[in-house]
Amino acid sequence: MIKQSYIEASERLLEHARRVTYHAHKINKLQAQRSDYLSGRIEQQPSETRHARLHQYKVAVSLRLSEIKFSREDQLCKSNP
């Protein structure tokens, strides 16, 4: 029973890590586009919606990281009663 709960907790942590990686990739891509515009490598200014999406991705990453932290703390509490 305990082994199964560890497996389930590990799977949840892995899914959170995948989502963080996805959002981090999107953040890097949007920041690179903005940097290219500011340095003059591209002429088209990134739209404001990109800025809003960048903020949304950053918020999503923070939420996922906090979920990972709390999941890990729960797992430690259950293993050390």
Task: Dump pLDDT digits (tens) for 32-79.
Answer: 888 898 899 888 877 778 778 888 888 888 888 887 777 766 666 666
pLDDT greater than 80 at residue 3 = no
Reply yes or no on whether the pLDDT at 17 is more than 60: yes
From first CA to last CA, the distance across the chain in angstroms is 16
Q: Domain of 69? A: 2-79
Diameter over CA atoms, the chain: 60
DSSP SS3 for 40: coil
pLDDT over 60 (residue 18) = yes
- Total number of domains constituting the chain: 1
List the one residue out of 2, 25, 21, 1 whose CA is nearest residue 13: 21
CB 47 within 8 A of CB 23: no
